[in-house]
Structures are given as structure tokens and as C-alpha cells.
Amino acid sequence: MTDSGAALANDKLTMALLNLAAKGERTHCSDPATHHLWLSEHDTERAIAITLCDHCPVLTECRRTAQLRGERFGVWGGKDFSRRPGGPRAA
């Protein structure tokens, strides 16, 4: 996918998050009490983040955006994109 595809996906995710905020809602990853889990260096904390992504209203947009941007660390759309040096991508 081109950079414009990633930018479009990013814009779609941003709009979905803004629409949630306009309704007074937020995702778990934007909650100050838990937001650190998504980019934690600890596998167990990222596993908790994956569980918290379940039923997220922007899950699909988040994962698609991460894929198109080539994210290489953290949990995005219920998937751990972290790569281990010399090893396969995390599950």
C-alpha cells in the first residue's frame, strides 16, 4: 500500500476516535489508567492490552492503520505488532 493509503487509513482512524469522543466515549488505549499497556516493553502487559481491545469500536480501523503504517511495536487493533530481534513477529 502506498503512503497515501496509510494516510487515508490514519485519517479514518482519527475520525472514528473523534466520533467516539463527541459521544463522550473513549477507547481503553486512551484511558490514562491503562494507556501504558499498549506500548509496554513487557509481553504480559501487552497481552492485557490485547484482551482490552476486545469489542473496541475502532478495532478494525486501528489494526488496518497499523498494518499500512508498518508498525513494528506495540498493540494495535488487538494484535501485538512487536518484533523480536532475530525472531518472528509476536503473535
Residue 83, all three cell numbers: 518484533
* pLDDT value at residue 13: 96
Is 51 domain-assigned? yes
Is 69 domain-assigned? yes
Q: What is the pTM of this model?
A: 0.84
Residue located via cell numbers 478495532: 59
- Give per-residue pLDDT as tens, 43-85: 999 999 999 999 999 999 999 999 999 999 999 999 999 987 6
Q: How far apart are CA 7 and CA 80, in angstroms?
A: 21
Question: 12 is in which domain, residue-wise?
Answer: 3-80
Residue 10, all three cell numbers: 490514519
Is 34 domain-assigned? yes
Amino acid at residue number 32: P
Is 13 domain-assigned? yes
Is 7 domain-assigned? yes
- Looking at the structure of the chain, the number of domains it has is 1
- Give per-residue pLDDT as tens, 8-36: 999 999 999 999 999 999 999 999 999 99
Is 85 domain-assigned? no
